[in-house]
Chain A
Amino acid sequence: MDISLKINGSTEELSIEPGVTLLDALRERLSITGPKKGCDRGQCGACTVHVDGRPVLSCLTLAAVVRGEVTTVEGLSDAERLHPVQQAFVDQDAFQCGFCTSGQIMSAVAAVEQDVTDVREFMSGNICRCAAYPNIVAAVEQARRSDATV
Chain B
Amino acid sequence: MRPFELTAPATVDAAIATPGAFLAGGTTLVDLMKLNVLTPHHVLDINDLPLRGIDTRDGLRFGALERMSDIAAHPGVYPVISRALLASASQQLRNMASIGGNLLQRTRCGYFRDVTMPCNKREPGSGCPAITGANRMHAILGTSESCVATHASDVAVALVALDAEVRLAGAGGVRTVALADFYRVPGETPDVENDLRPGELITEVVVPRLDWAQRSTYVKVRDRASYEFALCSAAVALDIQDSRVVDARVTVGGVATVPWRLTEVEAALRGVPATVESFEAAASVAADGAKPLSGNGFKVSLLKRTVVRALIEGSRG
Contact = CB atoms under 8 A, between A and B. Distances in A.
Contacts of B8: 65
B89 interface: yes
B93 interface: yes
A64 B6 contact: yes
A45 B89 CA distance: 12
Contacts of B1: 19
Interface stretch (A5-13, A54-62, A79-87, A135-143): A54-62
Chain A interface size band reads: 20 to 34
Interface residues of B, number: 30
B220 to A, nearest CB: 12
A61 B34 contact: no
B47 A67 contact: yes
Contacts of B23: 62, 65
A60 B27 contact: yes
Interface string A32-66: 00000000111001001000001111001110110
B47 A65 contact: yes
30 contacts: A17-B3, A18-B3, A19-B2, A19-B4, A19-B33, A41-B31, A41-B35, A42-B93, A45-B92, A56-B92, A57-B27, A60-B27, A60-B30, A60-B31, A61-B96, A62-B6, A62-B23, A62-B45, A64-B45, A65-B26, A67-B47, A107-B91, A107-B92, A110-B91, A120-B225, A121-B226, A124-B90, A124-B227, A125-B91, A125-B227
Given A18-B4, A18-B43, A19-B1, 18 more contacts: A19-B3, A21-B30, A41-B31, A42-B30, A45-B92, A56-B96, A57-B27, A57-B96, A60-B96, A61-B96, A62-B30, A65-B6, A121-B225, A122-B91, A124-B227, A125-B91, A125-B93, A126-B90
A47 to B, nearest CB: 9
**Looking at chain A's contact residues, is the secondary structure mostly helix, strand, loop, or mixed?**
mixed
Interface of B: 1-6, 8, 23, 26-27, 30-31, 33-35, 43, 45, 47, 69, 89-93, 95-96, 224-227
A125 to B, nearest CB: 2
A150 interface: no
Interface in A63-110: 64-65, 67, 107, 110
Contact of B92 (A21, A40, A57): A57
A148 interface: no
Contacts of B4: 18-19
A132 B89 CA distance: 21
A61 B26 contact: yes
A21 B33 CA distance: 12
B6 A60 contact: no
Nearest to A118: B226
A56 B30 contact: no
Contacts of A17: 3
A134 B115 CA distance: 38
B43 A56 contact: no
Contacts of B95: 54-56
A148 B74 CA distance: 25
A64 B92 CA distance: 19
Contacts of A122: 91
B84 to A, nearest CB: 15
Contacts of A41: 31, 34-35
